[in-house]
Structure 1
Amino acid sequence: MESVEGTEGRDADHRPVPGALAHRVPDLGALELLLAVARLGSLGAAARETGVSQPAASSRLRSMERQLGVALLDRSPRGSRLTDAGALVTDWARRVVEAAEAFDAGAQALRDRRDSRLRVAASMTIAEYLLPGWLLALRAQRPDTAVSLLAGNSATVAERLLADEADLGFVEGLSVPSGLDSVVVAHDHLVVVTAPTHPWARRRTPLSPAELAATPLVLREQGSGTRQVLDAALGGLARPLLELSSTTAVKSSAVGGAGPAVLSELAVLEELTTRRLTSVPVAGVRLRRDLRAVWRTGHRPTGPARDLLTLTRTRTPTP
């Protein structure tokens, strides 16, 4: 009966099967072991250099000989010597290993280029009150990574990610746009605030949801996560008293007495502590929202983006 030993990756006529190269060519570990034997003249020394036991090294070389169908070494008590075929295979192996080293160096260069920058897009509350701490911690881990930050509303963050203009985003809205994956990294509470001189600051009973919905407020622009959550919780809003494009502007207007506002508790902690703003309770409505990290579907964060995502889990204050 005809032997089939060493015929893996070949058809019935012993011709190579297209696409079966991995079955016909020894792996890099075996080639590196052969090169070490050729250089050191000893299977034992080669085994020690490559970090395997001598029996494992011997088994690996015999397996390669069966795979190639030729003897590579003459073994004797005085050591191991390459056969003529082994010398040829060793020369070819050297070129394969050098090509693999060049491949690895190129891949590392691509990783280094990727890891040298991080583009972050974040909605306003997260950009102002959470990201600075996260980025400071990231700098301690990756001092050579240059970070660029785009702050905008949640809709803008989604647009930047979908246009591949950001590696990682953070949003505050109710839903995640199509084409993005997400994970909740923190929770936030919205609070109704007024200047201490506003009549609501002296109320003895909580606001009702209907009363809040019917009152013109100082609000963020359309597309902001804060406004989306408030609108959904109340089932609609009155025409805004003022419509502003940043959390800081809304807060300053409320402090100045322009009218009541609804803001993240993270954004007004200092003003509530110093009594420049007063919190007004609301009965019967849940003003809690999830803060999410988002990225393009199928592009799970890697490198510095992955590290920043991990940091959000361990360095997020609870409001």
Structure 2
Amino acid sequence: MTDVSRAPEGQPLAHRVPDLGALELLLAVARLGSLGRAARETGISQPAASGRIQAMERQLGVALLDRSPRGSRLTDAGILVTEWARRVVESAEAFDAGAQALRARQDSRLRVAASMTIAEYLLPGWLIALHRARPGTAVSLYAGNSDSVGARVLAHEADLGFVEGPTVPAGLDATVIGHDRLVVVAAPGHPWARRRTPLDPSELAATGLILREPGSGNRQVLDAVLAPYGGPAAPLLELASTTALKAAVMGGVGPCVLSELAVAEELAARRLVAVPVSGLDLGRELRAVWPSGPRPTGPARELLALTRQGAPTVRTP
């Protein structure tokens, strides 16, 4: 027989130590004095229990049980192994309890970062639905531009992010959760509001506009689509707030390019006028992002499911 104390050095522990199920079975035999009763308690057949004990004996290189018609009695080696098994099982139970506590703590909070349009016009509805499903989950929200959202997710300062830009930062995985369209808007008294023909892209690029700050999804999309025309002209104003942008346009400062989601109410009330543009695709994808690797779990996974089921995953280098 091979002495268990002389197991080959460097051999993985999992190959030298019986699995938890076998150890729990041995403890049940020691407590009940019968392999059959131990098998019933652990929910397996007696032949399976006997085979598991024999496999453990082969693995350890010692006999653990003396079997007789009157029952099963631990050998001297079996008594010693049972004491070790009890410590291992108790440690495993403590490990499991700790892991459950960690999961419970993780499931009790959710940190979300979202770009401004999503934070203002889409996220509230999703969070209301999440609260109904998980009333015990505390949600904190950071709202900023797409660049800052990506940075917070990469730094693990947010469990899930939502961005509007045309690209996904390296180090993040993403899934498309919706689509949006940018629209050129002007005050009703602006000359563009009375145009009978669409704007030409070169005219839009040459005109000073009220713009979001660099790093915002709006600005990234506009910079990309106007790049073939020399890029946007120097802005009249750069503002980080959608509300401020709309107020500046309605105040007659100049035209602006904003999300259709953000101006729907003002367009319906004719406080703003949409100005058509020919030959320019101002559509964009809205994405959820998380650090590259496994998809989110817990409340982040549930929030993701509430946004859009079955969207394709976009993986970045």
TM-score (norm 1): 0.87
- 1:227-246 matches, within 5 Å, as 227-235=219-227, 236-246=231-241
Matched to 1:128, the amino acid is E
Distance 1:119 1:303 in 2: 12
Contact 1:218 1:260 survives alignment (8 Å): yes
- 1:139-178 matches, within 5 Å, as 139-178=131-170
1:201-243: CA deviations, max 9, x gaps? 2322211111211222221111111011012112211222222
Tell me how far 1:15 sits from its aligned partner: 4.7
What count of residue pairs does the alignment treat as equivalent? 308
Contact 1:195 1:277 survives alignment (8 Å): yes
1:272: which partner in 2? 267
1:307 to 302, 305, 309: 302
1:93 to 85, 97, 120: 85
> In the superposition, relative to structure 1, how do residues 6 and 52 fare at CA in structure 2: closer, same or farther (>3 Å)?
farther
1:251: which partner in 2? 246
Tell me how far 1:94 sits from its aligned partner: 0.7
Contact 1:133 1:315 survives alignment (8 Å): no
- 1:99-138 matches, within 5 Å, as 99-138=91-130
> In the superposition, relative to structure 1, how do residues 268 and 315 fare at CA in structure 2: closer, same or farther (>3 Å)?
farther
1:74: which partner in 2? 66
Tell me how far 1:285 sits from its aligned partner: 0.7
1:25 aligns with 2:20: no
> In the superposition, relative to structure 1, how do residues 65 and 138 fare at CA in structure 2: closer, same or farther (>3 Å)?
same
Distance 1:37 1:138 in 2: 47
Tell me how far 1:298 sits from its aligned partner: 4.5
Contact 1:134 1:315 survives alignment (8 Å): no
Distance 2:81 2:75 in 1: 10
1:169-219: CA deviations, max 9, x gaps? 211112223333323222211111223333322322211111211222221
Contact 1:37 1:46 survives alignment (8 Å): yes
2:286: which partner in 1? 291
Contact 1:254 1:260 survives alignment (8 Å): yes
1:70-126: CA deviations, max 9, x gaps? 222233344333233222221211111001111122222222332222222111011
Q: Which runs of 5+ in 1 are unaligned?
A: none
Distance 1:107 1:46 in 2: 28
Matched to 1:177, the amino acid is P
Q: Which runs of 5+ in 2 are unaligned?
A: 312-317
Distance 2:7 2:69 in 1: 38
TM-score (norm 2): 0.88
Matched to 2:225, the amino acid is A
2:208: which partner in 1? 216
> In the superposition, relative to structure 1, how do residues 6 and 305 fare at CA in structure 2: closer, same or farther (>3 Å)?
farther
Distance 1:108 1:33 in 2: 24
Distance 2:157 2:179 in 1: 26
Distance 1:49 1:262 in 2: 69
1:190: which partner in 2? 182
Matched to 2:264, the amino acid is L
Aligned-residue Cα RMSD (Å) equals 2.4
2:41: which partner in 1? 49
Taking only the aligned residue pairs, the percentage that are identical comes to 74
Distance 2:167 2:69 in 1: 72
Distance 1:279 1:57 in 2: 76
Q: Which runs of 4+ in 1 moved over 4 A?
A: none
> In the superposition, relative to structure 1, how do residues 48 and 243 fare at CA in structure 2: closer, same or farther (>3 Å)?
same
1:62 aligns with 2:57: no
Q: Which moved more, 1:116-125 or 1:252-261?
A: 252-261
Tell me how far 1:296 sits from its aligned partner: 2.9
SS at match of 2:308: helix
1:139-190: CA deviations, max 9, x gaps? 2233222211111111211232333322222111122233333232222111
> In the superposition, relative to structure 1, how do residues 44 and 271 fare at CA in structure 2: closer, same or farther (>3 Å)?
farther
